[in-house]
Each structure stands twice: as C-alpha cells, then as structure tokens.
Amino acid sequence: MRVEIAGQDALIVYFGEQASAAVSAHIQRAVVEINSQMADIVVDLVPSYASLLVIYDIDQCDHFEVRKRLREALRDLDTTEAVGGELVTLPVYYSLESGPDLEIIAERGKISVDDVIEIHLAGEYRVYAIGFAPGFAYLGEVDERIAAPRLATPRQKVPRGAVAIADRQTAVYPAQSPGGWNLIGLCPTRMFDPEQQPSMPVQVGDRIRFESIERDEYLSLGGNL
Amino acid sequence: MTGFIVKQPGLLTLIQDLGRFGAHNLGLTNGGPLDVQAFAWANRLLGNPANASALEISFGGLSLESGIDTAIVVTGAELPIKVNGETIAEWQTHPVKPGDLIELGYTTRGTRAYLAVAGGFAIPASFGSSATVVREKIGGLNGDKLQENDQLPCASQTLQQNYYLADDDRPQYAERAILRVVPGYQQSTFDPVERHRFFSSQYRVTDRSDRMGFRLEGEAIKSDINSMLSEGICHGAVQIPADGQPIVLMNDRQTIGGYPKIGSVIALDTAKLAQLNPGSTISFEPISAEYAHNLHWLAKSRFDRTQPLKC
C-alpha cells in the first residue's frame, strides 16, 4: 500500500500495480473501514481499479492526520480473502437486433455469434470502477476471445441498457449517450435511477453475472427496442 | 408560483449551490460554483446560508423579471447591471419588487458572475445538492441550464438593511494568473527536466475550456507513462495527455480517468482560473501541501473577518 498526495484536500492510496480480483476486494474492504471509522473527516471516496482516492475535509484536518487515520483504519485489513462483494445477476437480451456488433466480435475471434454470447455469459465479472457517467460500471475482465477494441468512430447514440465490450472490459450503458464500445445486447435493469434508493444496483467490488433472456422477457421487464 | 421568470437565459446560466459531495461512488461529479469566493460573497452579503442556491452566469446576457418583493446581489465578473433601465452596482444588495426587470450585460472583466437572492432560490436537492451538472442531467431545473420562461421559485423577503463589499475587499480579475500547484499523483514519474519545463513555462487558456476542464496551450510536457489504470481525479488536478498540453480539471470533471497527472491546482487558484478569458496567460508554481493548507486557512479567516458595509 502506497499513499500519495493528490491535491490540497485529497490523498490517493495505491493497493497494487495491476487490477485483479484480490486488489479489488482489498479496496472494497478499505472503503468499508474508512466509511465506518473516518466518516467525520472524509468527504468523498473514489475506488477504482487499483487505487482509492480519499477526499477529506480540509476545514477539519490536514494530510498528516488523514495519513495517520488511514494507517489505523487499514492496519488490520484482511488481505487473504480474495472474494467479497455482492453477487448481482443482470438479465441480457442478446441478439443481432439488440447487439449490432456481435458479428464483428465473432469474426475477430473466429468463433460463432452463439459462442460470443456463451463466453460472455460464462464469466463472472467484478465492478472495478464507476465513472465516465453516473452509474457507468466498468466490469472486468472478459475472456480474450471476445475482447474487442473500441470503435474507430464512436456512435452518436448508444441506447440505455446497451451491454458492451471494450478491450477486456464490459459494461451496461446507464443512459443514452454517445459511445465507442462494441454492443452485444440489451439489459432491462436500470443501472442508474436518481429516483430510486439505492440509485444503482451495483457498487465497486460487487461480482456480476449475466443471464440470457428472450425478447419477450426483455420487453416485459421494461426494456425498449 | 412566486419567484423570478427568466426573460433571457444568457449564454450559460446555471443554478448552483456549493456542490454535490459524497456521490463520487455513483460516478456523480461535484458541480458547484467555479469561483467559489465570488459565490460565497453573494450569499454572505444577503445574509444567506453559505450553501443557498444562486445563479452562476457565464459571460452574462441574463434577464430576469421579479414576481416578488425581495433583494438581490450580483458578484464576480464585471458586467453592466440594470434594474428597469437604471444602472445598479455590483457587490451591493438591492431591493426588487414585482414587475422589476433585471438585465445583465456581457462580462467586461472576468467571465463568471453570481446572482443571489435573499433566502436563496428554492430548488429541490438531488443527491444532496441543487448544483446543475448539464452533462449528467442532474440538479437545477431538470438538470439543464436556464431556458427562456423558466420559473425560479423563491420566497418573498424584506431586507432591513442593504450592504456592499468595500472595493479593497473585492477580488481583482486580471488577464494573467499564477496558479499554485500541490505536486502529487504521478509527479515523481515525470523527468525533472519536464517538471522544470512545466513550472517555468507560460500557458495560454484556450477556448476549449469549460466547466469540466480548462485546456491550456504552451510548452508540451512529456510523460514517460504510456498507459495507466484509471483512478479518481480530484478538483484542480492537472492532467497531461499524450499531446503534452495540460488540462486543469474543474468542478464538472469526470470522477475517474487514465491520464498522468502532475499535481493539483489549489482551490483558491482554480477560482482565479475560472475568471480568465481564452487567450489569458497563466503559469504554475509548486507549493507544499502544508503551505496550501495554510493558504486555505488564511483565506477562510480573511473571509470570516471581512465585514460587509452598510449602504
């Protein structure tokens, strides 16, 4: 664990050099400890692949005190257990209709469209980070056979719920937006709903599995085509 | 509904409070006033709570019609202000009555002005804040900038006494600024020559600067990092992308990103940067985190001890 200054009221804690399930689980436990022991001085936390940004209240403390409190809060953190996080299942309607880039990924990997779907379904993914847009969860890692680079020209409009792949990451678009990821299906679950509590079905550190659903079920769960 | 009606929204007028905190874990950014000092003075002159909702007016052009008896104040960038065609002063509270037309011209010095009303605008909080972030469609009225005919609700209020801030106590908006930076993040991975170049060069503010980030133009800074994992970005972080032209990340920045950062501009100086027009010149000066902390406390103490004067 390495602590660096980020700004006048922020420290960044690095838990490793690479993203991994173990590092992610470690960060998730750190978030829990900091939230319970340091809520009086912590303003915001940004967990990501291998780091945790800690933004503190500069009116109440300085970076020396935050470092000391972090050392105490994280000293006895159990680093042996590799899993952790909730297991969340997200339904996906995979088809050429809902996943316009399925064929491109299949061609790249010299496999069939059904194989692409099956390989995507077989994985258990971890929420490594949330960012880019409200509710956008970066999930990793997909099997190399279905990894695909971002589109050379991003789409102007990616629909809400689009299930997508970029390199070895996968995600569900929380809202309609421009986007350069490869689209393979549609998920009817709202990934970000400001009216709901909680507003997201997942948080950083959770484990995600996808489940294949048919067109009818997708529509009956509130999905749009 | 009582309050104000937007006759002309101006180029970019946003409802802001101090910002949205504690929601980075959902990917929500802070929002909030780019020039937090001018914003703070607007509320202070009216005796409002520090977090009361006010308007951030970028480059001017806003017109409002009052539907109530209350008081207003405009702080920040210099611009002409008229009430029913009569010029009124900035940094000074003014009573308004139903039917009054408040017209703001375009900024002549600085770029962000703040209009506050006694008691603040009554805007429901979203994730704990009324701050508008257009990119996220969160806060303000429907998550958007002000539009013609928008209604800005607020309660009627009579101010017993009008106040102004003395000339000497007002910030001076210039065409150049020195931005103090706390070195951090990947700073140790930059070659000493590159670090020296960064802290000894002059940069120009480009017109590709907005509430997400201010893009600068000048000596390119080379980073030895080719790829890095995305990580949390704090307010004021100075990102060095592949072309070497620094970007200072502001209130509406994305919460995570994967470009190397050399440190972060202190909040007192992002406020100065926010008031600069494209083409203005800036340079960077490294300071320790402890010194940054002291500067914060000095500014806070000065703000608390400076008293508005009675009109």
Give pLDDT, residue A132: 85
CB-based contact A131 B256, cutoff 8 Å: yes
Tally C-beta pairs within 8 A across A and B: 134
Average of pLDDT values for B53-57?
98
> B37 CA to chain A: closest CA distance, Å?
16
Give pLDDT, residue A81: 59
Q: Residue A158 forms beta bridges with which residues? A: A177
pLDDT at B65 over 80: yes
Report the C-alpha gap between B45 and A121 in whole angstroms.
Answer: 60
Q: For A116-163, what is each residue's pLDDT tens digit?
A: 999 999 999 999 999 989 999 999 999 999 999 988 888 999 999 999
pLDDT tier, A82 (very low <50, low <70, confident <90, very high otherwise): low
CB-based contact B292 A203, cutoff 8 Å: no
Average of pLDDT values for A86-115?
96
Give pLDDT, residue B262: 97
Nearest one of A69, A27, A12, A6 to A204, comparing CA atoms: A27
Which of chain A's residues have a Cβ under 8 Å away from the Cβ of B185?
4-6, 12
Q: Across all residues in chain B, what is the average pLDDT?
A: 96
Give pLDDT, residue B66: 98
Nearest one of B41, B290, B2, B16 to B139, comparing CA atoms: B16
Among B184, B254, B296, whose Cβ lies nearest the Cβ of A6? B184
Query: If you classify domain A2-74 with CATH, what class do you get?
Result: alpha beta
Q: What is the pTM of this model?
A: 0.94
Among A12, A44, A203, whose Cβ lies nearest the Cβ of B185? A12
Give pLDDT, residue B171: 94
Q: Domain B176-305: which topology?
A: Cyclophilin (2.40.100)
Percent of chain B with pLDDT over 90: 95
Give pLDDT, residue B45: 98
Give pLDDT, residue B264: 98
Spans of all domains in chain A: 2-74, 87-220
pLDDT tier, B279 (very low <50, low <70, confident <90, very high otherwise): very high
> B264 CA to chain A: closest CA distance, Å?
5
Give pLDDT, residue A106: 97
Give pLDDT, residue A79: 62
CB-based contact A50 B300, cutoff 8 Å: no
Name the architecture of domain A87-220.
Beta Barrel (2.40)
Tokens of A11: 């420290």
Q: For A176-208, what is each residue's pLDDT tens digit?
A: 998 999 999 999 999 999 989 899 999 999 999
Residue A98 makes CB contacts below 8 A (sequence gap 6+) with A183, A185, A186, A218, A225
Assess B39–A contact: CB distance below 8 Å, yes or no. Answer: no
Give pLDDT, residue A21: 86
Q: For B91-141, what is each residue's pLDDT tens digit?
A: 999 999 999 999 999 999 999 999 999 999 999 999 999 999 999 999 999
Assess B282–A contact: CB distance below 8 Å, yes or no. Answer: no
Q: For A41-62, what is each residue's pLDDT tens digit?
A: 999 999 999 999 999 999 999 9
CB-based contact A46:A53 (threshold 8 Å) = yes
A177, amino acid identity: S
Give pLDDT, residue A76: 80
Q: Residue B215 forms beta bridges with which residues? A: B247
Report the C-alpha gap between B211 and A41 in whole angstroms.
Answer: 27
Report the C-alpha gap between B300 and B21 in whole angstroms.
Answer: 20
pLDDT tier, B1 (very low <50, low <70, confident <90, very high otherwise): low
pLDDT at B292 over 90: yes
> B290 CA to chain A: closest CA distance, Å?
8
DSSP one-letter code for A198? S
Strand B3-9 relative to strand B62-66: parallel, antiparallel, unpaired?
antiparallel
Which of chain A's residues have a Cβ under 8 Å away from the Cβ of B267?
8-9
Report the C-alpha gap between B81 and B96 in whole angstroms.
Answer: 13
Give pLDDT, residue A78: 67
What phi, psi does A115 have (nearest 5°)? -60, -40
Average of pLDDT values for B296-302?
97
CB-based contact B27 A134, cutoff 8 Å: yes
pLDDT tier, A89 (very low <50, low <70, confident <90, very high otherwise): very high
pLDDT tier, A83 (very low <50, low <70, confident <90, very high otherwise): low
Percent of chain A with pLDDT over 90: 82
Q: For B149-206, what is each residue's pLDDT tens digit?
A: 999 999 999 889 999 999 999 999 989 999 999 999 999 999 999 999 999 999 999 9
Of residues A12 and A177, which shows the higher confidence score? Answer: A12
Complex ipTM value: 0.96
Report the C-alpha gap between B246 and B163 in whole angstroms.
Answer: 41
Give pLDDT, residue A136: 95
Give pLDDT, residue A128: 94
Of residues A80 and B242, which shows the higher confidence score? Answer: B242
Spans of all domains in chain B: 3-167, 176-305
